[in-house]
Chain A
């Protein structure tokens, strides 16, 4: 079977990343925004692995594992934060987060 080259994989990664960035910037629901951040991190993983294969080194793949570990820690804190937000405000809409203005 012929293996996929660097460019198609990178394209998928860029599409994933841009989707994530667009999600963070436009969506109003805290959970969706959080999911979009995870999407960005997955795009990063994909590009790390693709570059690692291209360079013929293992470092990039190890970095992907690093990123996953950190993303897991972030997910734990982030979801706790969403629950805390809901308990305090009974909403997860980002538009409602406007107590502090100036």
Chain B
């Protein structure tokens, strides 16, 4: 039986679950013409969940539900990032959905279910729990992608995401079953203990196949090369607000679970897996940045940029599993970068959503022409987000990249850091190109941004500048969060 403490530690996710249920029932029974009530309820639920997460964050870390969840500061930090991504997304959703002529209450319900899954995934300490949380998150996202039922692109995006998501879940599950077969447990500490020991023969084979399948599954979820093919199409076809949530929230949750697996389980004990991760990180950074160069559609460009960012984060995982286990700055910089990415990503999508009118998105780069003259604040916001993604000081993205790369160099991953730095330098081109369109081209852009959405943009811009100029406290927080995450070195058998 779950104790009161278990329920308390899971309360941020439970609150989201109840909020989602309330909205779904409300939509089914009351069917209000205006969905603004649901919007407010979703915002309130997310804010409440964030507040609960902060309160739990201040307490000690603990296991919950018989070791299914490991409620530590690392997971809670990532959970907070996911909730924040959802908050920023929901803030501009009401006006965006109205411009898109998409008046559906279940949108908010699905967003809350998705964030509930993300939160649990950040805390999951058992591969089965990772899987269930991942599915709660993913199934909500499949539906959200295809939410614009009349638009073939949205449906195509949803379907592609669904097929590849289900496929990767299948691979991951088969990996879990092999690890279970070899070790007799699915709990991460248990499997980690097994990895520590010497094993050979059938067990070693099962572990190798299982670990490889899990890495492939995670690779699909975080859209890393060579499992990234779905990302550009899905990001382009899905409604803008969904893309925003997907690229920041899903990424943060997947990386939190991936980091627990890599750092805690295979970590320093398995050089082979780390080698695979090394190649994945290098290829992801290069392909993401080069792929974005040719894009004229901004959503697609941001999709490739998101692949590139997944590569930087993978580099942090490689650094974390090769460096000195104690006092390793790599995972702290991963947390910090996830937070930075959430702000800059949400900000960019808020500006893109401002062009939507009469049920149509306008995300071609030409729609930006002349934005600097007509809407100087929107243009400034987008510029700030793009500069931050490119890693130009004094933004938060610069600080994040700086710490990521220096952590990689500290753990001896100099070639990988060089590949990353070179591809990031190529990436500056496509981040600066929209600014040329905004400030140096003439155009008749029609953009409209509601006060609430503008507030969200202002929050993103402020955070990017504030944490860029004064990164100390937030980095310190990320460092502290990490101390709760220990590699699973103690065998449980």
**A: which residues have CB within 8 A of B?**
17, 20-21, 24, 30, 33-34, 37, 40-41, 43-44, 47-48, 50-51, 54-55, 57, 59-60, 63, 66-67, 70, 73-74, 77-78, 81-82, 84-85, 88-89, 97, 99-100, 102
Contact = CB atoms under 8 A, between A and B. Distances in A.
Nearest to B232: A102
A56 B344 CA distance: 51
A74 B166 contact: yes
A77 B156 CA distance: 14
Given A51-B180, A77-B142, A81-B155, A70 B135 contact: yes
B167 A51 contact: no
B177 A51 contact: yes
A6 B63 CA distance: 34
Given A74-B166, A85-B159, A60 B153 contact: no
Nearest to B167: A24
Given A20-B170, A100-B233, A66 B128 contact: yes
Nearest to B127: A63
B309 interface: no
A84 B173 contact: no
Given A30-B159, A66-B131, A85-B156, 11 more contacts: A17-B174, A21-B167, A34-B166, A41-B170, A48-B180, A70-B169, A81-B142, A85-B155, A88-B155, A100-B232, A102-B300
B53 to A, nearest CB: 25
Contacts of B186: 59, 63
Contacts of A47: 174, 177-178, 181
Contact of A55 (B139, B155, B162, B184): B184
B158 interface: yes
A82 B139 contact: no
A48 B177 contact: yes
B305 to A, nearest CB: 13
Contacts of A48: 177, 180
B160 interface: yes
Contact of A54 (B163, B178, B181, B294): B181
Contacts of B223: none
B45 interface: no
B295 interface: yes
A102 B177 contact: no
Contact of A77 (B128, B162, B178): B162
B173 to A, nearest CB: 4
A47 B158 CA distance: 30
B173 A41 contact: yes
Contacts of A21: 167, 171
Contacts of B163: 24, 30, 33-34, 37, 78
Given A70-B135, A99-B156, A84 B149 contact: yes
A57 B493 CA distance: 15
A65 to B, nearest CB: 11
B174 A77 contact: no
B139 A37 contact: no
Interface of B: 128, 131-132, 135, 139, 142-143, 146, 149-153, 155-160, 162-163, 166-167, 169-171, 173-174, 176-178, 180-181, 184-186, 232-233, 236-237, 294-295, 297, 300
A73 B159 contact: no
B177 A100 contact: no
Contact of A73 (B139, B158, B295): B139
A24 B166 CA distance: 10
A51 B159 CA distance: 33
Contacts of B180: 48, 51, 59-60, 63
Nearest to A101: B233
A33 B146 CA distance: 18
17 contacts: A40-B167, A44-B177, A47-B177, A47-B181, A48-B177, A48-B180, A51-B180, A59-B185, A60-B180, A77-B143, A81-B162, A84-B146, A84-B158, A85-B159, A97-B160, A99-B237, A100-B156
Contact of A97 (B156, B171, B178, B184): B156
Contacts of A33: 163
A44 B146 contact: no
B177 A37 contact: no
- List the 4 shortest-distance A-B pairs measured between CB atoms, nearest first: A40-B170, A51-B181, A44-B173, A47-B177
B162 A88 contact: no
Contacts of B300: 100, 102
A102 B142 CA distance: 22
Nearest to B182: A51
B216 to A, nearest CB: 11
Contact of B158 (A44, A51, A81): A81
A51 B210 CA distance: 13
A20 B169 CA distance: 13
Nearest to A57: B184
B57 to A, nearest CB: 29
A11 to B, nearest CB: 13
Contact of B173 (A51, A57, A67, A82): A67
A44 B155 contact: no
